[in-house]
A = this chain, B = another copy of it.
Amino acid sequence: MPELRKDPIIGRWVIISTERGKRPSDFGVSMEKKSTKLCPFCPGNESATPPEVLAFRPDGSQKNTPGWTLRVISNKFPALKIEGDLNRQGHGIFDKMNGIGAHEVIIETSDHHKDFPNYSDRTAQDVIWAYRMRISDLKKDPRFRYTMVFRNYGEAAGASLEHAHSQLIATPIVPKRVSEELEGSKKYYGFKERCIFCDIVRQEISDGDRVISYNDNFIALEPFAPRLPFETWILPTEHYSALEDIPEKAIPDLASLLKETLKRLEISLNNAPYNYIMHTRPVDDEGIEYYHWHIEIMPKLTKVAGFEWGTGFYINPTAPEDAAKYLREVDFTHEEQRVIKQQIL
């Protein structure tokens, strides 16, 4: 019997189609290949990108020249533009405003052939540091009400370049998906005086069957009502409503759990494309009690079809308990050989 499950935060129902019970190998997603055409994100091609807004340069090299290990630039084709006023306007029943915002690209490594699951600890931590530094900077702009980090991996997930990168966007409005989470969690807090995400973490640790792994400060789990097969969340086990609020000493734990989780997904799902996004509080809501910073990782295994478009709820062919079991039991032993083989190819 299929099961309807309700997301406790925003109230979205999903259909867990347990009888389809899809295993990782059933999705038939093919391995992404690394091409060798000229890459604007590689060292030496700095002039092909907009100038950098931040770079980690251990060798003290000059701006916009090689020598960096991580580099942040404005998006060459930004969805939103940094200069101008909002200029809110109405036309009859319609409302519009200028698309003001920031859209930056975090080039996470200078190595074209590395990606997150295979980063050194230092590189993984640097990525998190870059997110924090750019968010803190963009928050100073009074036009922006929200900042969101996201990462598209693989062409099917919307990545137009294969060199490892993530993106950061600052928007003049709080996005709808976030507003829904804020409203839902605020309502819960009003009723229980507890953060709903904290309650979820507690119940998941006690239930156990949707947990993938955890360390001292963070947990990786499959949510109770996932939209997509192998949808995976990472949350701090303590309450923090923004990445910038998390103590510096916990960053290594976040970087290593994110890296490990992406590695588990990579092995289980044959290097499938995915998106991850980071949900934080709005800029103006300092340290709120009811909202909990987290990462949502969404592997691209199924197609969003008419049913999902029309209803806003999702048919998920893999129960999260099964997905968590696959991901927990990933066999890392042959991993080293696999990586070597890939490099030879």
What residues of chain A have their CB less than 8 Å away from a CB belonging to chain B?
1-6, 8, 11-13, 15-17, 20, 77-81, 84, 92-99, 148, 150-152, 156-159, 167, 169, 171-173, 175-178, 180, 196, 199-200, 203, 207, 224-225, 275-279, 296, 298, 303-307, 309-313, 315
Contacts and interface: CB of A to CB of B under 8 A. Distances in A.
A312 B177 contact: yes
Given A4-B96, A304-B304, A15 B176 contact: no
B1 A176 contact: no
Given A2-B80, A176-B11, A169 B303 contact: no
B310 A279 contact: yes
A203 to B, nearest CB: 5
A115 to B, nearest CB: 15
A304 B158 contact: yes
A313 B13 CA distance: 20
A5 B92 CA distance: 13
B311 A177 contact: yes
Contact of A306 (B17, B98, B158, B224): B158
B307 A94 contact: no
Contact of A167 (B1, B225, B307): B307
A77 B13 CA distance: 19
A173 B99 contact: no
Contacts of A150: 305-307, 309-310
